[in-house]
Structure 1
């Protein structure tokens, strides 16, 4: 049984908060459900001073970086584009420190959506701040289609950590940023038909990250459940 640390998402916009005007730290229940169903323990790690990241990492065996706000473009040397959405520099700073602490202690990392993007930036890569900066014709933000319905195909690299997936695999998609320049020491292991990266890995450092949201589909798609299962069991 593994202890999984899920990096919590802060909800700080009080006037729009659905939580009775309270600021909260939360994660999607589906992340908790899948790991609990697989027999593991889940700990939600709230955003804190980056200096405390090592203390949190000492509590868990591995960490999950989830979706949410855009990564600040200042982290990869760009000014904000007019299509940039909400950013959270405080969350960025803590999660970057958590990545560093995980790597130093050789603890595996799973990134989902924003998690993939932040890992790419950590390793020196960059992002397109909005898909309007690209020539992609794929609808990466699938709304109003429900989140548990896959909507576009990816091609998975054989011999990668995701080799258990079909080579052509259907995923859900709700993001407006994609990797521009791949970070150092990362390998792209899945692409959309538009050529943009949909998954990355560093096997030596036990890193896997995907651009789609398997936490929304694991309960109905066995392959997506296997992503969490193999990550938790250390078999990726």
Structure 2
């Protein structure tokens, strides 16, 4: 079975909630639960200096990049839009180094939400810093609807790594940014009905990423569970 490395999310705010004045690095328990249920071992990797990335990669077989802060627009050559939200350039730099190391050592990468966006930027793509820059009329940040309920459809490429999903699939959604220009070597393999990119891949490099949050729905949506099964069981 695989050792899955999940890059942790730094939480810098020191108000009382949710961590009682403590700065922490965390990941959603649901990421841990799904991989453990599938029989794999999980390690949470703290954000560190970029030069340490290869050390961490020696400990794991696969890498998961999760949600969180907006990717800093400096990495794709733009000034910050007035609707840009919290950024974390230190996390950005470490995750770019983690991607570098994963590609160097031929270890598969799964991106979820921000994870998709940081992968797209790593490969030279860009982002809509806020969905107000698009013509989309779909609500992509579904709150207050709970995270375990799908709210909009995506259209899935049936010749892609996600071919096990229905051609029209119902997903949850918690993002205000999206792919603008696709990164070099990446293929868009799912789109919203508004045309926005909802999943990407590079099969040769072992890269797969989705814009929705299957970790929130894997216990109730069998196809979302299969995303993790596919990733955990595949090899380059």
Q: Please report the TM-score for the alignment, with normalisation by the length of structure 1.
A: 0.99
Deviation by residue 1:31-88 (Cα, 9 ceiling, x = unmatched)? 0000000000000000000000000000000000000000000000000000000000
Distance 1:119 1:162 in 2: 17
5+ long unaligned stretches in structure 1: none
Equivalent in the alignment of 2:127? 127
The answer (yes or no) to whether the contact 1:17–1:23 under 8 Å persists in 2 is no
Matched, 1:182 2:182: yes
CA contact (8 A) 2:199 2:209 kept: yes
Deviation at 1:92, TM superposition (A): 0.3
Partner of 1:15, secondary structure, is coil
Mapped contact 1:54–1:101 kept (Cα < 8 A): yes
1:28-177 alignment, distance < 5 Å: 28-177=28-177
SS of aligned partner of 2:199: strand
Q: Which residue of 2 aligns with 1:217?
A: 217
Q: CA RMSD in A?
A: 1.0
Q: String of CA shifts for 1:150-190, please: whole Å, max 9, x gaps.
A: 00000000110000000000000010000000000000000
Aligned 8 A contact 1:188 1:199 in 2: yes
Aligned length: 236
How far apart in 1 are the matches of 2:74 and 2:203? 28
Per the alignment, residue 5 of structure 1 pairs with 5
Q: 1:151, 1:172 within 8 Å by CA — same for their partners in 2? A: yes
Offset of 1:19 from its aligned partner?
Answer: 1.1
Unaligned runs of 5+ in 2: none
Provide the rounded CA distance (Å) in 2 between the counterparts of 1:170 and 1:221.
10
Say if 2:108 and 2:235, in contact at 8 Å, map to a contact too: no
CA distance in 1, matches of 2:47, 2:87: 14
Given the alignment of the two structures, is residue 226 of structure 1 paired with residue 226 of structure 2, yes or no?
A: yes
Secondary structure of the corresponding residue to residue 204 of structure 1: helix
Query: Which 4+ residue blocks in structure 1 deviate beyond 3 angstroms?
Result: none
Shift of 1:15: 2.5
Question: CA separation in 1, counterparts of 2:129 and 2:61?
Answer: 32
Matched position secondary structure for 2:169: strand
Length-normalised TM-score, structure 2: 0.99
- Partners of 1:14 and 1:150 in 2: CA distance: 32
